[in-house]
Amino acid sequence: MMGRRSMNSTTELNELLHLSARLGNDPLLVQASSGNTSIKIDNTLWIKASGKWLAHAAQESMLVPIPLEELRHSLQNCVEFAGAGAWVNGNYLRGSIETAMHAVLPQRVVVHVHSVNTIAWAVRQDARERLAERLAGLRWCWIPYVSSGLPLARQIEHAIEERPGSDVFVLANHGLVICGDGSAAAAALLATVEQRLAVPPRIHPSWDSGFLSRFEAQSRWNVPDSADLHTFATDAVSRRILAGGILYPCQAIFLGTRVESMPECEFLPEGVEEFEHERSIPAFGLVEGRGVVTNRRITASQRCVLNGLLQVVQRIDGSAPIRYLSDTEVLNLLNEDAHNYQLCTERNAVPSGRATQTLAGVANSTVV
């Protein structure tokens, strides 16, 4: 009997890893190290490590085993859980910042993604009403924006108390959480929600490649490989949305709190260096009506987040009332933990090449 349980557990863990890799390789669902997955097996919560990329789930160990009852006891007493990390194949990994949220959800499998379709709805002031139309018949809950970690876990707990059995949670200005008894059930429910919330992106005007090539040659900026990114500069609706403020946390953490923009012009202005802000050159900038330029030191993570931001903005209706993050909410995001998270994300941009993690390797995982 013990061997049968072990075999079933190994299968379940491998199914989660397979799903994690599939989600991580879909830029409409996950960007860089965003998103996290988990499974509860016996009394252990296996959850994606902070800063790891779901896209690499088939190539390296990234699930952290955490004692579930001890974690829940700490949450009930509002104290920080000291055992939210483990040594896995010689590397110390900490559980995702959303570990508490995964722990309070009763379902066996939990999937959290930064779906661009969902976020395009979740940043609207009328999001709850509009989502009610599209998600009718599903067991879903609207979660007002709160900080990740314990505050979000508490909001989820409150929602479950009001609507027991809920398995779809739309997080304002954040993303989507899907729950299921197994990876297949969670994947199927995610596909249903994505279908219902799908929004076609706006058609974008053409960009001025000749001007941007000259701009690139005479400045410290590059012209991005993705032609779609120029929508930020050539589409007036996108420019207005972007100029309004910060839509969701990853935008502020990876791309900064402001968008550098210069007016449309026929020539490179003598003051182009002012656009660059030598002390802190941003990840990207706009030349209105012409196109987008990127920092020559832009990282792989920033590229992923920038492309995700584009997909969100392209899906927000031009007449939509937008709820941006407040100055206080943005300030709360930009702390030392967020900086360390970004550094960890950059280090993990390239997979380590380790074998896929399975329960057969539990002996190499030590909870501390």
- Residue 356 burial (CB < 10 Å; 0-12/13-18/19+)? middle
Query: For 151-165, 193-207, 273-287, which range has the lowest pLDDT when averaged over its residues?
Result: 273-287
- Sequence-distant (6+) residues with CB within 8 A of 84 are 64, 66, 71, 94, 95, 99
Q: Crossing angle for the helix pair 183-197 and 2-24, nearest 10 degrees?
A: 20
Handedness of CA 201, 204, 207, 212 (dihedral sign): negative
Query: What is the C-alpha end-to-end distance of the chain, expressed in Å?
Result: 29
The model's pTM is: 0.91
Query: Which position has the higher pLDDT, 358 or 159?
Result: 159
Q: Smallest Cα–Cα separation from 197: which of 117, 91, 95?
A: 117
Each residue's pLDDT tens digit, 277-306: 444 568 999 999 999 999 889 999 999 999
Each residue's pLDDT tens digit, 103-135: 999 999 999 999 999 999 999 999 999 999 999
Residue 90: the pLDDT is 79
How sure is the predictor about 2, in pLDDT bands with cuts at 50, 70 and 90?
very low
Query: Which position has the higher pLDDT, 220 or 167?
Result: 167
Domains in the chain: boundaries = 2-200+347-367, 209-314
Each residue's pLDDT tens digit, 59-73: 999 999 999 999 998
List, as one string, the DSSP characters of 195-260. HHH--PPPPPPP--HHHHHHHHHTSSEE--S-GGGGHHHH-HHHHHHHHT---SHHHHHHH-SS-E
Residue 364: the pLDDT is 54
Q: Among the CATH numbers 3.30.360.10, 3.40.50.1950, 3.40.225.10, 3.50.50.60, which is that of 2-200+347-367?
A: 3.40.225.10
- Sequence-distant (6+) residues with CB within 8 A of 114 are 29, 30, 31, 34, 35, 174, 175, 176, 248, 250, 308
- Sequence-distant (6+) residues with CB within 8 A of 318 are 237, 240
Averaged pLDDT for residues 240-247: 96
Each residue's pLDDT tens digit, 251-277: 999 999 988 887 765 444 444 554 444
Residues 80 and 47 sit within 8 Å (Cβ to Cβ): no
Residue 81: the pLDDT is 66
Is the pLDDT at 239 greater than 80, yes or no?
A: yes
Is the pLDDT at 22 greater than 90, yes or no?
A: yes
How sure is the predictor about 4, in pLDDT bands with cuts at 50, 70 and 90?
very low
Q: Smallest Cα–Cα separation from 283: which of 367, 354, 355, 222?
A: 222
Residues 47 and 342 sit within 8 Å (Cβ to Cβ): no
CA triple 212-260-268, angle to 5 deg: 35
Is the pLDDT at 15 greater than 50, yes or no?
A: yes
